[in-house]
Chains A and B, each alone.
Chain A
Amino acid sequence: MGKIVAVHSYKGGTGKTLLSTNLAVTLAKKGKKVCLLDLDFRAPSLATLLNIEKTQHWLNDYLNGICEIDKVLIDLSDRIASKEKFFVCPANPSVEAIRDMSSKDRKWEMRALGRILSLRNSLLNDKGFDYIVFDTSPGLQYSSINAIVAADIVIVATTFDSSDVEGTRRMLRELYDLFEKKTEIVLNKVLYVDSVRAGKDKLQAMVKNIYEVPLLGVIPCFCEISRAEGKIIFVHEKPDHPFTKILDEIANKIDKL
């Protein structure tokens, strides 16, 4: 039975897309059949990041009930030199589509939740996917909470920014806990010297103390990631980079959860 992983955060710019994309690719490279879904309808990134210019249908169409999910699935396995392992469902990045998705009513959001929940059946059970990875909008947005409700595991990307720490703490208590979700923290943009000096055990204890949930991984601030300008699949292009090794550890941990 496959798993659904949602990558979420309180604030924007914490590295959700970087984490979700590279996690999906890492899992795919390990031989898992993975589908990455862009649920950030307010600021879609996967279409640009993965150079998807035209598609028959967007994920928006699936949620609007216009088509089924197989019409949205794009096989990008060749990008990571594998076969039938890495699939993507991008969100429509046009301003018109963003406007449309921002003005949905509660009834529509309720139906969207039903359609996201039914992905477990259509993708994991029928199509044999091992993982569904959701990239979400930051904060308390309908599409993100829908993703969290449908997920088995929620990965929260967070930084040491104080408003992010406080917001993440509140979300853990007032959002993930209420839905009884298995939640793990990924500390991102940690200064390399700090992460080395503090050591894993110390950071683990600190996260446990602040958030009362386990620490899944620590990602130091890498200049090479900023330099890549979000244009490459990092773990694929840079197999020997420390970031790739960290993602590999995170993927292994998730596989065991």
Chain B
Amino acid sequence: MPSQETLESKKPLQVLEKIKENLERLNEKMEVMIELQKHERKEFQTLPSEAPLDVMTLLSMPDHLRKTAMTVCRLGRATAEEIAQQTRRARAVESAYLNQLVIMGYLKKERKGRKAYFYVEKES
């Protein structure tokens, strides 16, 4: 029977996709933790949960984060992959920086299916 066949073949695929998705999220979290350790949490302690990403803030950022933040400003809304294409750095690196900027309160992150979009919150 064809219907049962598709159902059976679909199930493991769905499970695998779910596992992959969770692994990706886990990976992102680990990247953030590594980044946080690298910078000894210095930059994060006094920051509020939401901070405006204005030009003076951009100026005061460390170089590696400024490049990522400026690219998000220019593109408006983008995935780590799209940012990486612009900055010519590795996707995993950009993903770490983007998540760091989210923790710092400068960017927002929204998941749509398996993709994560980063953007600057403009509404007050």
Report the separation of the CA atoms of residues A111 and B124 in the bound assembly, to the nearest whole angstrom.
10
Sorting the interface of chain B by its residue count into under 10, 10 to 19, 20 to 34 or 35 or more gives 10 to 19
Report yes or no: B59 in contact with A145, Cβ–Cβ below 8 A.
Answer: yes
- With both chains docked as a complex, state the minimum distance between the C-beta of A120 and any C-beta of chain B, in angstroms: 8
Name the one of A110, A118, A178, A179 contacting B53, with C-beta atoms under 8 angstroms.
A110
Report the separation of the CA atoms of residues A114 and B55 in the bound assembly, to the nearest whole angstrom.
11
Given the known inter-chain contacts A107-B124, A142-B54, A178-B66, please indicate yes or no for A117 contacting B73, CB distance below 8 A: yes
DSSP majority for the B interface?
A: helix
- With both chains docked as a complex, state the minimum distance between the C-beta of A7 and any C-beta of chain B, in angstroms: 17
Name the B residues within 8 Å of A142 (CB-CB).
Answer: 54-56
Name the one of A110, A117, A175, A178 contacting B54, with C-beta atoms under 8 angstroms.
A110
Task: Give B59's nearest chain A residue, CB to CB.
Answer: A178
| Cβ-based interface call for B5 (8 A) | no
Question: CB within 8 Å of B: which residues of A?
Answer: 106-107, 109-111, 113-114, 117-118, 142, 145-146, 149, 174-175, 178-180
Sample 5 A-B pairs with CB under 8 A, ordered by A number: A106-B56, A145-B56, A174-B59, A178-B66, A180-B67
Question: CB within 8 Å of A: which residues of B?
Answer: 52-59, 63, 66-67, 70, 73-74, 76, 120, 122, 124
Q: Which 5 A-B pairs have the closest CB atoms?
A: A145-B55, A110-B54, A110-B52, A106-B52, A109-B54
